[in-house]
Every structure is written in structure tokens, then in C-alpha cells.
Structure 1
Amino acid sequence: MDTAMNPLQNPTTTRPETIVQELNKSKYIPGQPLDYRFNCKDGTIYRNGRNIGQNATLHILACRVMEGQLFGKDSLWIEAFFKDDSGNIGSTLFNSHSAEEFKRFLSQLFYEEIKLSQAVIDVNFQQKTGSNDGTSYTYHILSFSLKERLDASVEKEVAEFTKEKRHLYRSSTLVDSVKVIASLNFYTPEPNSEKASSKTVVTHPASEKSTVNISTAVSA
């Protein structure tokens, strides 16, 4: 199978003014971001259904942590929005074990006092082995690591960009079958709300008993 050039492999520059310029030129249809799928069955990333490789570098602009049913599957879900190196706003969903790994990564950022929008993240597949009725099989989960820490001013620039210039959401995931645990820079269109949900008090991903501001829990 032909592998296309991966527009996710080069990290965003650390210069805040350049990041703003690149974001302002980004392409995005409201509610229809470019679809990226991290397929944990074969350890491959698909961009609009086309194989683009096995690893990625992401600068996440907005995200939601959710529980419930999406596309017929009941799970923990992470929905992430980002700009790829082709200048497109893309989105992807992590679920199950990969979503738990992302929550652990958020906790690491929290203790290092790094906001999510400051983090350039390496995403890689880890191969695992399981068995069913004596038959072994392989599968993959995603791992997340910090590649680069961006200037603190980037957090404000990203928040203003998602509030004033690009309302980031995906129409197909605006359903009542999921419960939103936390969100950052996500826009909920009418009829639910016109405001990006960025200041809600939520449960911290690392502990169901600790309650913190969303700007700390998800962007920390």
C-alpha cells in the first residue's frame, strides 16, 4: 500500500509570532475538520482514509475528554483538534487504552506545569500481545511524550484564535450519548451554546476526587 507524506511529522515552530501566522492561514470548514484516524489494529495513521505512516507530532489546539457511546462503541474518548503541516485543521479520536494513556500524559504535563497548548507531542504506537481461547493476537496502543515546550504566550494566542477566528468542533460527535468530563477551547454551536467551553470546573484526569479549573486540568 502506498504511504502518503505525513503532514503531522514536523513540529510547530517555537516562535509564537510564527505560530499565529500559521494558524491564521489554516484551512477549516466549521464542524468538518480533516479526519485523522489512529488505527490501533494495524498501528497506522490514516488521513481521510489514506495511510500516512506510523507516528505523528501534534500541537493540540482544542480537545474534549468524554465518556459514553460514539459510533456504536461505549468507551472513554479523547477528541483532539490540531493544525497539520499542510495548513489544515484536523481532528482525531482516541479511545479505550489510548485514551487512558492520554489522560496519564495530561497528568505528567500538570505536574511539570506545562499547558496542553504549550506542548508539542510525539505520538507513537506500542505493539501489544493478547490471547483469546488460546489464540494469540497483536494490537497497538498509543503512547504520548513531550517533544517540545512552546513559549507560555502561545496558550493565550491559541485561546484567542479558537475563540475569535476558528470555532473548533466536529458535527458528528455532538451527541447526547456522551458525557463531557473536560474540554479546552472547544466550541459548542447552537442550539446548545454559542460559547467555547473553556472555564468549567471539572474532575482532574488523574483523580476522580480532585476538582480543578479546566484551564489547569486540560491545558496543564
Structure 2
Amino acid sequence: MNWQRLGEFVGGRWVVGFVVGLAIALLTATGLQAAPPPPDYYPFPLNGRWEYATTNAAQGTTGNLLIKVIGADRDGSQMRYTTEQDLGFGPSNLLYLKGEGWVKEIKFVLARNGMTNETVNDPIKPILKNPPKVGDQWSWTGQQVGAATTNASESFKAAAAEEVTVPAGKFNTIRVEITGEKAGTAFRKVMWYADRVGPVKWQIWDASNALQTTTELKRYEFPKAS
């Protein structure tokens, strides 16, 4: 027997088998890699926190806004989230409905001195198509029902993809432009949303197109996934 030829044959088969096995392993590993989660421009992680710097151009004042997610529960195929907002005058709450490609604002709740006042959007107001794509447009017309009932309407447009810099850093965002009317008074608002962060900046103008407020993200903190 030609042991040299046998060794070459066996060695050759081993090399080929090793290469084929390695290729299969790589393909299998690649196939098993988890797909990246879908984009989410308005996350609501329970106990997540966002801190913003606010500037009131009309009054010449500055301040801080703290937003926390304090509640989450399922509503059919969607999720309902409760956030707590504090501008330094005591907390208030905003409730949202999220799912089926939308983020919607349900109501605003203010509790002071043992009394609770609610302002409910009727119907629920869609504030963001999620994920937004440049060119998306939608609108809402309804009433804000609370101590008084106010007619309101808003038109939304995902106008552009923009890189914005705020105290928290630099973010790639979708700019959503909003024009609306509340109780017969017009206003304009622009929101900048970042994937997996949420709103990083917004500005509001009054009916005369004078800038009223600017809000920019200073820092945010999401709980670590368990």
C-alpha cells in the first residue's frame, strides 16, 4: 500500500470536510442571528426617564422637564402607557395608546389639592405614525373634553430626515411638522424623533408665528433588559 498516497487522500478529504463544515457552521450561525428589532421612534420602557431643558422665549425663562413611564398595560392588541411629567410645579400625567403602527394620545390628567381634572381627546389623537417615513401625512379633528369642551384639529407631516444636536448629543431624526387650531386659535409645532430614543427636541409657535417654547433632551435613561 502506498502510505504516502493514502495520507494525501485522507488529508485532502479532511481539509475539504473541514472547509465544508466551517462554511455550513458559518451559514447556520448567520441564519440563527436574531433579526434587529424594528424601528421605534416613541419607546415607552417602564421606568424609563427623559430629562429636557426648556426655554420659554415669550417669558424669557428656562427650566427642566422630567418625563417618566410609570405604567403599562395591554389593551387588546395594543399597549396603554402612563407617563408622569414634571416641569417643577408638581406632576401631571399623559396616557398613550401604542400599537398597529401608531402612537396615540388618550388624555391629560392633572391632580392638585385633592382634585383631579382630565382632558380627553375625542377621538383619541394619533400623534405619530411609528415608524415614520418622510412624506407620511395624517390629521386629526375632534374635541378636547374636560372642564370645558374645546374643538381642535391638527395636521401632521413627516417632513424630513435631519441630524440634530441637543445637550444629550447628536441624533439622526425624523422631523414632524404640525399645524393646528384650538378653540379658534392657530399654532405650529415641530417635533424631532430619534429611533429608540423618542422625542429629542420640539418647538412651538403661536398664531403670529412667534416662537414660544423650545424643549431639548439633556439625558435619558432606560432600564436594562433583564
When normalised by structure 2's length, the TM-score is: 0.21
Relative to its length, the structure with more strand (as a share) is 2
RCO greater where, 1 or 2, for CA within 8 Å and sep 6 or more? 1
Relative to its length, the structure with more helix (as a share) is 1
Larger radius of gyration: 2
